[in-house]
Amino acid sequence: MATVAEKPTGFRKASAQELPKLHNIGYVSSVGEPKLTNGGLTDDGEEKPQYVMIPVEITGINGSRNGRTSILLRPEWLDVNFNPDRAFDGLPESVQRSLSFVYRRNIGSRGEVSVLEGLAGSEAAGAELAQAILSVDNVEDAEAVAEAIRTFLLDEQRTIGYTMKQRSTKTDEVDPETGKAVYVLDKQYDVDTFWYPTEKEIKRLEKVCEKSQGRQKLAFDVELAF
């Protein structure tokens, strides 16, 4: 049976007002030093996978917001023969879910733009970035991998497309019905997904925003984007 967190000693704070998703354009302005994510246990008691995390800062242009994101990866993924559809077989279900989700979001998944691809700015540049990473002599050397990514992303200023959503903050409260932590809306934005800033895609997003009844907005002037 789930327990409810202790009652707050002061007044309960309301969630921030709901904000629309923002579609932005910008460029990569900084690639930080790599570090390992914290370990710990999954909800079902399995050891959490650890990832190399490389922080990235994005500078918005033409009215777009600045953003921060991170590239998450594991050394064994940086091999042309690695097969994400089979590599996680036989692992505990919670570990498989984590590894599969993080791989698809950061490295690649059919029909979606991954973090690495999105930061490169185009499909062609994403393929070039992949080759730069695969060319690292020792992919176990996180510093060398980060340097390859840094050199590629900062050597040329490429326009990238990214969508930001309102941040949800975890509270100490527990929902007595679900047993899960309660989240509240914050007033800040986080980078959510990436897309290629082609004229076709921007026009598509413009139409999506027009039909969203204010739930999605372009943060930049379309006429100045090309």
Q: What is the pLDDT of residues 30-57, one digit of tens each?
A: 999 999 998 777 777 788 899 999 999 9
- What's the pLDDT at 111? 92
Q: Where are the domains of the chain?
A: 17-226
User: What mean pLDDT do residues 113-135 have?
Assistant: 97
- Mean of pLDDT over the chain: 91
Q: pTM for this structure?
A: 0.87
Q: Between residues 9 and 38, which one has the greater pLDDT?
A: 38
Report pLDDT digits (tens) over 78-112: 999 999 999 999 999 999 999 999 999 999 999 99
**Residue whose entry in the numeric block shows the structure tokens 């460029």:** 27
**Residue 191 belongs to what H/E stretch?**
strand 181-195
Of the listed ranges 7-11, 30-34, 220-224, the one predicted with least confidence: 7-11
SS3 209: helix
* % of the chain at pLDDT higher than 90: 75
User: What mean pLDDT do residues 119-127 have?
Assistant: 97
Question: What is the spatial distance between Cα 38 and Cα 48, in angstroms, rounded to a whole number?
Answer: 9
- What's the pLDDT at 1? 40
Q: Which of 179, 142, 156, 190 is nearest to 22 (CA)?
A: 190
